[in-house]
Amino acid sequence: MFSRRSFVVAGAMGVVGVALTARMTWLSVFQGEKFKLLAESNRVQLRLIPPRRGWIIDRNGKPLALNTPDYRLEIIPEQLTDLEATLTEIVKILPLTEEDLTRIREDVARQPKYMPVTITSGIGWQAFAQLNVRLPDLPGIQPVRGFSRVYPEGERFAHLLGYVGTATAEQYQKSRDPLLIFPGFKIGKDGIEKRKDAELRGTAGANRVEVNARGRVIRELDTRSDIPGANLKLTIDRDLQSYAARRVGNDSASVIVMDCETGDLLCLLSMPAFDPNVFSTRITSKLWAELQASERHPLINKSVMGLYPPGSTFKMMTAIAALETGTLPTETAYCNGSYRLGNNVWHCWSKRGHGNVPMHAALVHSCDVYFYTFGRAAGIDAIASVARRFGLGQKFDLPLPAQAAGIVPDDAWKMKRYGKPWAVAETLNTSIGQGYLIVNPLQLAVMSARIASGKKVEPRLLADAPRVPPGDLGISADHLQIIRDGMIDVVNAGGGTGKAARLKVEGIRVAGKTGSAQVRRITMADRRAGRTSSDRMPYKYRDHALFVAFAPADAPRYAVSVIVEHGSHGGTAAAPIARDVLTYIFEPERALKTLEPLERAFAAKRAAEAAAAEAAAYAAAHPELVVAVAPDAAAPPPPTPAPGD
């Protein structure tokens, strides 16, 4: 029995020994390379070095977007063991609010586990050092030393430049670029930052470090430096755009300045806007709701995405179409204040009329009846053809995420859109820049530049981009000169509607055209009740104010378009802005001196509006304190509006 048991035990031990030997042979010989690599990966870690983002500079090398050193803290959810315990320890070092903690918990629960969640940014060096010392006790925590994107001019360039932000899970899944989930790394989210992200982003570097069993770095083994992103130079003049933003003040407006010869965009302003420095970190839900609810639309780039009826600024297109189809500039139309077609009546802005009006006087005084008459004679197809040659209804090759083309209607467009033929009445509306016709401010600037230069000049935003040789407009030089002469007298003649745009700079004259674009139809009931002035309407129903111009009038170099949303009259709201912006180009000291009292008035108005809003909110919260106002204490009626556009 003893010998049998010994034999069984020895046999079992032999089998185990053979199995162990076989397993060790398999692991050491056949799987040796695999486990060698695993051991090496435990000992050595490869860490990405995010590239520094390229700067964006203006035509003179002044920074528009740059980088500053930043210390921040991130959480990697898949590396966490206990979120609440980790947050408790972090709060001992960083002053996080309850709102911050709620947001972190929500982000950790919502996002994929591999996506980093920002705890906070802009922490001091002392806190950053404390967190690094505590790393072994805080799994999932990643202090990040890097760079933050900074926009020195803030909202003045927000729509143009855009902003940067953390990549979404969808963006990472699409590219599988490990940089997109690197803590603190950000990509372009809007504007030029988004469109030129590949050039600005750069190439990541890496370093190999040896770590101990707890993940603490022992030594650095090797480093491959990152390659910073390329700097991007724009045609924009930073100082000019900053001045334009200050001059716009409280208005909701777009201001564009374009070089008539090269097509360079010197100013591409949309106001009001948002602060891209805030958007690049983390915008609060309250601020986001306020921006979305604002009737001044600060989230929309009005310069390229805003669409407006061009109003009387379109009358140059109608005049050129009339000339190109055989109308003589000396031919007149009789204006008695209205134009009848069938049973309907189209009104001129002047109730008394302008009498017999030739083309030059029609442009200077912006006579609607003249353009009804000769726009109808030219026909919608001729008008639309001319408008497209001057850039209306077009998109341009610019590094912007989106542009709105607008609508330049004609017979084919209406048939395709509505399945109905074009009506003569619709030609009358289009001839004065209303009806289906809508354009953006950039197109109006291009139109002005092409009228001034007589060439098909293309807008350009990147200073290093090749210039496109301007093509031929296919318009008679004599006809263009007739239009230019009319625009010169719009500003410089005694009865011109754009006289507010006259410069006080010696030897410089401005040529321009005012416009007022209706946002609601004036009914016969409105006319009978005397409700024809948009000044008496609530803000959102007032006409848009427009002005297009070029200067110097005798040797055009700069084209300008200004749109003030709900500004009522181009001659009183938009033309003075264009005047001051052009003054800044020729005599900046004079323009800055003029700006000082205006900025004080803007500040006083903002304070008054804020006080009124606060009072209204208080009254809404305490209705028992509201006292009825007697009829004789009511506010006086608004002043009579200025005539014309």
For residue 7, is it within any domain?
Answer: no
Same domain for 448 and 534, yes or no, is yes
Closest listed residue to residue 583, CA positions, set 493, 509, 487: 509
Say whether both 297 and 219 belong to one domain.
no
Cis geometry, peptide bond prior to residue 272 (ω within 30 degrees of 0): yes
Length of the chain: 645
Tell me how far apart the alpha carbons of residues 54 and 271 are, in angstroms, rounded to a whole number: 26
- Would 187 be classed as within a structural domain? yes
Q: Do 225 and 178 share a structural domain?
A: yes
Domain boundary among 208, 232, 256: 232
**Sequence-distant (≥ 6) Cβ neighbours of residue 465 within 8 angstroms:** none
Same domain for 207 and 112:
yes
SS3 at position 643: coil
Instruction: Answer yes or no: do 288 and 392 share one domain.
Output: yes
Q: What is the spatial distance between Cα 265 and Cα 262, in angstroms, rounded to a whole number?
A: 9
Distance CA 158, CA 271 (A): 9
* First-last CA distance in the chain: 121
In a domain, residue 634? The reply is no
Mark whether 210 and 319 lie in a shared domain. no
Residue 26, domain member (yes or no):
no
Per residue in 401-455, pLDDT tens?
A: 999 999 999 999 999 999 999 999 999 999 999 999 999 999 999 999 999 999 9
Looking at residue 642, what is its pLDDT?
43
> Contact, 611 vs 604, CB < 8 A?
no
Q: Are residues 292 and 429 in the same domain?
A: yes
Task: Find where tokens 């070092």 sit.
Answer: 93
Domain-located, residue 35: no
Residues 6+ apart with CB under 8 A from 463: 59, 233, 234, 235, 264
Determine how β-strand 186-188 pairs with β-strand 544-551. Answer: unpaired
What's the pLDDT score for residue 423? 95
Is 625 domain-assigned? no
Q: Look at residues 232, 260, 283 and tell me which one is the last residue of a structural domain.
A: 232
Q: What is the CATH number of the domain that holds 406?
A: 3.40.710.10
SS3 state at 253: strand
For position 176, what pLDDT does the model report? 85
Question: Are residues 113 and 169 located together in one domain of the fold?
Answer: yes
Indicate whether 277 and 212 sit together in one domain.
Answer: no
Other beta carbons less than 10 A from residue 17's beta carbon: 10
For residue 584, the one-letter residue type is Y
Domain end, chosen from 185, 209, 232, is at 232
Give how many domains the chain has, as a whole number: 2
pLDDT digits (tens, 9 = 90+) for 573-623: 999 999 999 999 999 999 999 999 999 999 998 898 888 888 887 888 777
Task: State the maximum Cα–Cα separation within the chain, in Å, rounded to a whole number.
Answer: 137
pLDDT at 140: 83
Q: Do 208 and 274 fall into the same domain?
A: no
Domain span holding position 70: 46-232
**How many other CB atoms are found less than 10 A from the CB of residue 493?**
16
Backbone φ and ψ for 164, nearest 5 degrees, come out as: -115, 160
User: CA 21, CA 187: separation in Å to the nearest integer?
Assistant: 54
Q: CB within 8 A of 116, min separation 6: which ones?
A: 74, 75, 76, 142, 166, 181, 182, 183, 184
Same domain, 404 and 436: yes
Domain match, 252 and 175 both: no
Residue 543 belongs to a domain: yes
What's residue 615's pLDDT?
84
pTM exceeds 0.95, yes or no: no
Low-confidence ranges of the chain (pLDDT < 50): 629-643
pLDDT at 475: 95
Structure token digits, residue 503: 């410069």
Q: Are 264 and 258 in contact (CB under 8 A)?
A: yes
In-domain check, residue 466: yes
Look up the CATH number of the domain holding residue 218: 3.90.1310.10
- How high is the pLDDT of residue 548? 98
**What integer pLDDT is reported at residue 121 of this predicted model?**
78
